[in-house]
Structure 1
Amino acid sequence: MLETPLALVLEDEPQIRSLLCDALASLPLRCVAAGSMEAAREALASAMPQIVVLDLGLPDGDGKTFIGELRAWSSMPVLVLSARSQERDKIEALDAGADDYLIKPFSRGELLARVRALLRRAGRSEAPRLAFGEIEVDFVLRQVQRAGEAVHLTPIEYRLLCALIAGQGKVLTHRQLLREVWGPSLVDSAHYLRIYLGHLRHKLEADPARPRHFLTETGTGYRFVL
């Protein structure tokens, strides 16, 4: 007997969380609910959902950050539910990796129709771990090890690592990386990128002077390769 698919609902309002889970149960979908990004990360460590439904306004950060973390290792569909109705908000969420965006308030029928559509188009989710050289990255626990020993990365270093890995071998421009890691106000501050890329190489490359994984594309940006 096949197990009912699982949805992760990330919403800080308990009443809305309950309403969403009740609605999703009619598809049917099982629901694991979280009120913060930290609780959602803990949920991912113990269960692998088939879809994520989340709000952007969370008590411990912006939902776009969580989407970016998820996209570093998974292609599971993400539906954003948000009261933010400006075009900029929609574009930023979709650019971060969301698959669809539904503005609050919304009807139960439209919510379920969008979830059904995303589940039909869903690809497989990748493993929440990645190994290269002596490095192993656990995206759910947000931990990095080198030869079995923990490596401390600052929040910015970790975000940069995830952004590069999510590029899947593609060349990412300086502006792309600066926007994703530091935000739109620093897209012209390429020196930040050079400094933190150097930190990653020193911590994760066998020979930082001759990197094998974090490659420079002269005049354009950087690329991560396995």
Structure 2
Amino acid sequence: MASVANILLVEDDPLASAGLDLALTRLGNSVTVCESGESALRRLSERRPEIVVLDVMLPGIDGVEVCRRIRAEDSLPIVLLTARSDDIDVVVGLEAGADDYVVKPVKPRVLDARLRAVLRRVDQAPGNRSTHGDLVIDRGTMKVRRSGRDVALTATELRLLLELSRRPGQVLSRRQLLASVWEHDFLGDSRLVDATVQRVRAKIEDVPSKPVFIETVRGFGYRFVTP
């Protein structure tokens, strides 16, 4: 199998990191392991991986803060490792800019599949350009501009915006968005959708609490609207 990705794995549990390192390497990836947030940030300043797998509970700088610091400077894909699916750290981590999360203990093939899905979102580049008021979405160059200025979106944020804007006025359920953007089945988590919508709104809306482009359809999902 060809190499899938250069992965930075940030995990302080030596047994967990050794197991994931070995398994992900056998699946064709190149893995670098860091045991703390501080060492991970130093490593990132020296060499940029293709994707970061980041444990939430780290000594010193925790995973959420590492995620926040990465996202302040880079759209690098980030997948969180968390001990509980209902942990508040999941929500905080998603709001900090993570693209996805998995619950430990995780089977290496499941994690590998999630990483592949996130990286596919980086690579996908459908054609065409659409204009919605002062918001321009260029599907060929994978760029978004608002009032003539570039909008910095992560691959996941961009994929979500592309999916919603593909059919203006049509309501898409959270389950539909999980399937099309995250490639999740019924095991997906709607918090991924809600947190990413909030992040996109913060970047394209004048008043995120009163959105013009992405409307919430209560009890169902979201709809993209051209002003």
CA drift of 1:44 comes to 0.9
> 2:203 & 2:120 partners in 1: Cα distance?
24
Partner of 2:42: 42
CA drift of 1:89 comes to 2.7
| Corresponding residue SS for 2:76 | coil
Contact 2:6 2:51 in 1 (8 A): yes
Q: For residues 163-199 of structure 1, what are the alpha-carbon distances to aligned partners after superposition, in whole Å with 9 as ceiling and x for unaligned?
A: xxxx7797688xxxxxxxxxxxxxxxxxxxxxxxxxx
Partner of 2:119: 119
Summarize the Cα distance change of 1:90–1:4 in structure 2 as closer, same or farther, 3 Å threshold.
Answer: closer
Contact 1:23 1:112 in 2 (8 A): no
**CA RMSD for the aligned pairs?**
2.7
Partner of 1:24: 24
> 1:108 & 1:73 partners in 2: Cα distance?
29
CA drift of 1:55 comes to 0.6
Letter in structure 2 aligned against 1:120: R
Contact 1:76 1:122 in 2 (8 A): no
Aligned: 1:81 with 2:84: no
Partner of 1:69: 69
**Gap regions ≥5 residues in structure 2:** 125-201, 209-227
CA drift of 1:106 comes to 1.7
Partner of 1:33: 33
Contact 1:76 1:123 in 2 (8 A): no
Summarize the Cα distance change of 1:91–1:47 in structure 2 as closer, same or farther, 3 Å threshold.
Answer: same
What TM-score results when the alignment is normalised by the length of structure 2? 0.51
Letter in structure 2 aligned against 1:36: S
- Paired residues in the alignment total 131
Contact 2:6 2:29 in 1 (8 A): yes
Contact 2:38 2:61 in 1 (8 A): no
> 2:122 & 2:10 partners in 1: Cα distance?
19
Contact 2:56 2:89 in 1 (8 A): no
What TM-score results when the alignment is normalised by the length of structure 1? 0.51
> 1:123 & 1:59 partners in 2: Cα distance?
33
CA drift of 1:119 comes to 1.2
> 1:123 & 1:73 partners in 2: Cα distance?
20
**Gap regions ≥5 residues in structure 1:** 125-166, 174-226
Partner of 1:109: 109
Q: For residues 9-41 of structure 1, what are the alpha-carbon distances to aligned partners after superposition, in whole Å with 9 as ceiling and x for unaligned?
A: 000011111111112213422111110111101
1:142-153 counterparts in 2 under 5 A?
Answer: none
Summarize the Cα distance change of 1:116–1:87 in structure 2 as closer, same or farther, 3 Å threshold.
Answer: same
- The structure with the larger Rg is 1
Summarize the Cα distance change of 1:69–1:171 in structure 2 as closer, same or farther, 3 Å threshold.
Answer: farther
Q: For residues 89-126 of structure 1, what are the alpha-carbon distances to aligned partners after superposition, in whole Å with 9 as ceiling and x for unaligned?
A: 322111111111111112222111101111111269xx
| Corresponding residue SS for 1:58 | coil
Letter in structure 1 aligned against 2:67: I
> 1:51 & 1:44 partners in 2: Cα distance?
11
| Corresponding residue SS for 2:70 | helix
> 1:111 & 1:99 partners in 2: Cα distance?
13
Summarize the Cα distance change of 1:106–1:57 in structure 2 as closer, same or farther, 3 Å threshold.
Answer: same
> 1:8 & 1:120 partners in 2: Cα distance?
17
CA drift of 1:81 comes to 0.9
Letter in structure 1 aligned against 2:90: K
| Corresponding residue SS for 2:32 | strand
Identity of aligned residues (%): 37
Letter in structure 1 aligned against 2:85: S
CA drift of 1:47 comes to 1.1
